[in-house]
Structures are given as C-alpha cells and as structure tokens.
A and B are shown apart, each in its own frame.
Chain A
Amino acid sequence: MGTKGDESNQLILGQLKILFERFHKKQIRKTELEKNLISYARKTGFINNTYRKQAWNLLINTSDDEQYTQDQQQLKSHQYYEQTRLDVIRTLKRFPPNYSEAERSGLQDELIVIINQILVKHRELHYYQGYHDICLTFLLVLGNELCVPILDSITMSHLKYFMEPTMEKTRDSLNYLMPLINCIHSKCAEYMERGGVGHVIFALPWFITWYSHVLDELDVILRLYDLFIVSDYLMPIYVAAEIVNYYGDEILSQDCDMATLHQYLSCLPTEIDTKVWETIIERASHLIDRHPPETLESLASEWKIKCKHIEKSSPQSYLPQRANQLKTNSAKNLVKPSNVLSRVMFWSVALAVGGLAIYLYNQSSAIDLNTFLNLGDIYR
C-alpha cells in the first residue's frame, strides 16, 4: 500500500480492531459482525493479513467434520497430480520476495498436496491451470491447516463452474463481459468487437484466477479477493467491465486490430494503481447492483443483435464514420438511413416512439425512468 493511503488504512484497521473486540466480548452477535465484515470486504478490503485471516475464516462457511486424505499414494495417483505438480513448481513470481528459497519450496510442496486433497474429495471436479494461483493465494493468507476447508468451500461456491468436464460454462460466463461493456461504454464494446477481441480471451485469466495470474502486487490481489469472496462468482467479470470502461478512451486510441487490442488489454490490470483499483471496485459493485447476474441474459441478447449489425457493416464504411462521428453516440450508428424513403420512415418511427413515450409518461407517474434510461450510456 502506498503512503498516501496509510492514514485511512490506519483508521480502517482501528475500526476492524474494535469490531473484533466487541465480538470477542460478546457485545455484538456473529451475524452483525459478518454484516459489517461484508461491508468492509466490498468498500475497503481488510488491509492486513491479521484481520483478513480472521475475516475470511468467518465469512466463508466451512463444516468441521470434513476429511481430507493424507495418503500420499492416493494423492499421487490422482489424474491431475502431475499437471498440478508441474504448474506449482514453476509458480515463482507469485511468492512474496521476503520468502526464502526453502520456505518457498516448502509452500510449493504443501500447495501440491492441498490442490490434490480437494480434487480427491471432489472427484467430479477437473483441475484447470490457474486454479493453482487461487489456491496459493489462500495458502499465503491462511496457512496450511485453515486453508483446506476454506478453499474447499470457496471452490464449491465460486470455482466449480470452471472445473466442469468442459469449459463451456466458463466460456459462456466470460461471454457476459461484452454485453456489460456495451452497457457502460457502448462505443468501446463496438470498437473491441470490430477489432476481433470480442471473444474476450484476454480476460480469461482475470476471471478464472481472480486476477492473481496477471497481477504482480500481492496487496492488490488480496484486496480483490476480499471483494470476490463476498460476491457472486461473476464479480470478476463486472470488475473486468469496469476496467475496460475506465480505460475506454485509451482503448479507443489503440489500433483497431486483434493483436494490438489483445496485447493492450491483457496487460491493462498491471498498470492500475491502488487508488484506481478502489474506483473500479466501487463502480463494479454498483454495476452488479444495477445489472445483477440474473439479468445478464437479456443484456447478452441486446449485444447479439448489435453484433449482427457490426458484422454487416464493412470496415470501409466504418472508418470514415469513426473519423466523422468520433464524439457521437454509437447507438446512432445502428440506424443508417440509406435513402430519402428510409429517412422519412426513420423520422416517422422516431416521432411515433417519442409520442408514445410522452403518452405513457402522462398516463402513469409510476413508470420507472430507469427502464427508459438503461438504453444508453448513462452510467458514465
């Protein structure tokens, strides 16, 4: 954490200290403590690992009677043992620099066992490269003993979708990213789609490793984990949408080709400083409130329709358009009257829709304005 935020961090640590003390003195109930901790997880994070460890332990429900095999033979015979071993031994970057070679090597051995304990317990789960990044983060915060049941629980609540026999569910979930970007920065979404990065593979490691595969700073990774453990499993997608939104203008200034955009977007999270992360997290929390996961299908349908239009319009017609209408709303591009007749039709329909809107507004004061406003980029 930078020195700028130190003061406010001290304040938050003080508040967390009081909160835990009150709980230990039985002045507040567990439910109240949890409610408060969820709020900290979303708004500030837990700042240091002493409180983080306690908070994660409280917030992630585990059952006491879970058994995890210690049998080396059983662990080693698991179909993914060799793959996990190879992935873990080359995970060097993610270890904090203050760890000695011996400590790191010891932790790597523990990590291989932990991952396979979970995989042995849940035979239906399939290991994916990147799961080891998440497991390592939990191990670093919680230590070996506490880590396994908590990891088990978070795997079953947030990560099991990535561990199905195929990754189709993962791909489908990842595909909500473009509809969300379209909601908050439609011009950028259109630009990305035209540039050939609409399949958003650049965000795959963001999503399935909770950004821990791409970020270098452990503090930032842990801050994001605070948020993710108390959120829907799709939260990393909302964060991704707000990252793109925040850097929208920069994205629009890149060349509109797949290589340039993929490269720029892939590296984007590493460029974000702590303060900007907080802004992005705050916006992502608003975004998930405004467009909760159960509404994403309808956003996806809207996006699909728009994609068909993008596909139809050739790059040649797009270029001058971009130059002339750089500042105009891209929604206008959806209607391109090509002759006088269609122009007449267009304005007739526009007038009719406008008239209908005024009529409806006068008829019912209870109409939620948001339903009208949701069509545009009002979030920016």
Chain B
Amino acid sequence: MTESIAPPDTGVFTDQERPKRIFKIIVIGDSHVGKTCLTYRFCSGKFPEKSEATIGVDFREKTLDIDGEIFKLQIWDTAGQERFRRSMINHYYRNVHAIVYVYDVTNLASFENLPGWINECDKHVLDQDLPRVLVGNKCDVSNEQIVVPNSVAQRFADAHNIPLFETSAKADEHQDHVNSIFMLLAHKLKHSKPLMSQPKLYAHRDISVSSPTTANEPGYCSC
C-alpha cells in the first residue's frame, strides 16, 4: 500500500490528476485550543510563527495520494468564540464529510466544553456515522501543565465512540502524528459510501464537470 502526503496545492490539475473526490472536514473546539495551528501544521508542514484569533472561518486544503488515487481534503478552520458559532458559522456544517474536535490538554474548560460541541454538531449533521476524531492538542508541555489526563480523555472518547489523538501542532516531531490523524479520516472517507454528496463543484471553465449522477443523489449529510 502506498500513501504519501502530496506537496501543498498548486490548485491546477490536469484531467488525470484532477481529484476524484473532495472531502470537506470541519475543525471545531474552544478558542485558543490550536485549531488554526493544527490545520496549518497538516496543510503546510510547519507551525505558524504568528497565529491570531480566527474570525469567521478560514479555509485550507491538502491533496493526498492514497493508493494512487488523488483526494482533496478541504479543511474548514472555524472561529472558537461561542458568539461567532451561534449565529455565524452554522453554514459551514453543510455537506461536511468529517469532523475534528479539538481541545487543549492544558485547559480543562476546553475539554469540559466538548459535550457542547458534540451536541451542536449533532444538531447540524444528521448522519451520526460521519467519521470523527478527537484531538487533545498542546501535549508538548511538561507533565505538570497537563490538566486533562489521558485516562479521562480516553474514557470520554470511548463513551462517544470517537478515536482520540493526543498531539502537538507546535512540536516538529509530531508532524507525522498530525498527518496520521487526517490520514485516518481520509482512509475512512475513501472506504465510505461512494454516493455521499460532494461539495458542489461547477467549474464553469470546464462545463462538463458537473456529472448528472452527483447532483441529485440522496445527500450523505443533507443538513
């Protein structure tokens, strides 16, 4: 089995290279847990030197080659502040294919707020079988700074049937680990029902791109 993480996107594909499938992944969690850094680490292979609060939604993408098949992961990095998500970012749950919940292992509140995030997500995402992962970020710190013990997090993850990863977007040695989180989702998505609705892509430069089979399929997640 061959798999590799392709270099950052050029955004231009020839017909053979054009990604067969595009997956939309939403990253959610409290503010300051490191959602932006985590997605930046995965998409750009480094830790951003200056990372500011996300206002609204930021977007990053990464092309993957899994077993010779090209996939594109669209990663939507959302604002953490509760004020924004209540009335602003619910549009971004539409047609989502996978969810990444993030908390900060040094911030108990960000862990305790996870049920709120899961509830909110369940309200917007009708398909309960959507691939999800739980990420405890900032685990590069010393042990005494960690306030969410692995055992507690693992129990929570098991109870919700979500795989748990404790990692660090900051530490370079965790790059592979961060990649593996998204690769896990990509693999799950690759083997999921092929009928799932794709994010709309009508490239008007390429009139024939919208194939009649994709538009009217029953939505995998039609919220």
Q: Which residues of A contact B (CB under 8 A)?
A: 83, 86-87, 90-93, 126, 128-130, 132, 166-168, 170-171, 194-196, 199, 201-202, 204-205, 208-209, 213, 253, 255-259, 262-263, 266, 314-316, 318-320, 322-323
Contact = CB atoms under 8 A, between A and B. Distances in A.
B200 interface: yes
B45 interface: no
A137 B196 CA distance: 46
A257 B204 CA distance: 10
B87 interface: yes
8 contacts: A93-B50, A126-B83, A128-B81, A170-B87, A204-B55, A257-B202, A259-B61, A259-B199
B55 A205 contact: yes
A201 B59 contact: no
Given A204-B55, A257-B202, A316-B212, 11 more contacts: A87-B53, A92-B52, A129-B83, A129-B84, A171-B87, A205-B55, A256-B202, A257-B199, A259-B22, A315-B215, A319-B202
Interface in B26-83: 31-32, 50-59, 61, 74, 79, 81, 83
A83 B79 CA distance: 13
B21 to A, nearest CB: 14
Interface string B117-135: 0000000000000000000
B52 A262 contact: no
A233 B51 CA distance: 28
A194 B201 CA distance: 10
Interface string B180-223: 00000000000000000001111111010010100100000000
8 A-B pairs with least C-beta separation: A204-B56, A205-B55, A129-B53, A255-B203, A201-B56, A257-B201, A167-B87, A92-B50
B59 A259 contact: yes
Interface string B86-106: 111101101000000000000
Tell me the dominant secondary structure on chain A's binding face: helix
Q: Which of A130, A196, A201, A266 has the most CB of B within 10 A?
A: A201
Contacts of A263: 59
Nearest to A209: B55
A203 to B, nearest CB: 8
Given A126-B83, A129-B79, A316-B212, A256 B203 contact: yes
Contacts of B210: 315-316, 319
Contact of A255 (B32, B84, B201): B201
Contacts of A323: 204, 207
A128 B31 CA distance: 12
B115 to A, nearest CB: 21
Contact of B57 (A83, A262, A319): A262
Q: Which of A87, A91, A259 has the most CB of B within 10 A?
A: A259
Interface of B: 22, 24, 31-32, 50-59, 61, 74, 79, 81, 83-84, 86-89, 91-92, 94, 199-205, 207, 210, 212, 215
B86 A166 contact: yes
A204 B57 CA distance: 9
A258 B95 CA distance: 11
Contact of A318 (B59, B86, B202): B202
A112 to B, nearest CB: 14
Given A86-B32, A171-B88, A320 B207 contact: yes
B88 A167 contact: yes
Contacts of A202: 56
A264 to B, nearest CB: 10
A266 B199 contact: no
Contact of A266 (B51, B58, B87): B58
A87 B56 CA distance: 15
B59 A315 contact: no
Nearest to A255: B203
Given A83-B31, A204-B55, A209-B55, A166 B87 contact: yes
A167 B84 contact: yes
Contacts of A320: 207
Contacts of A318: 202
Given A205-B56, A213-B55, A315-B210, A128 B83 contact: yes
Contacts of B55: 129-130, 204-205, 208-209, 213
A126 B87 CA distance: 15
A201 B91 contact: yes
Given A129-B31, A205-B55, A208-B55, A316 B84 contact: no
B22 to A, nearest CB: 8
Contacts of A262: 57, 59
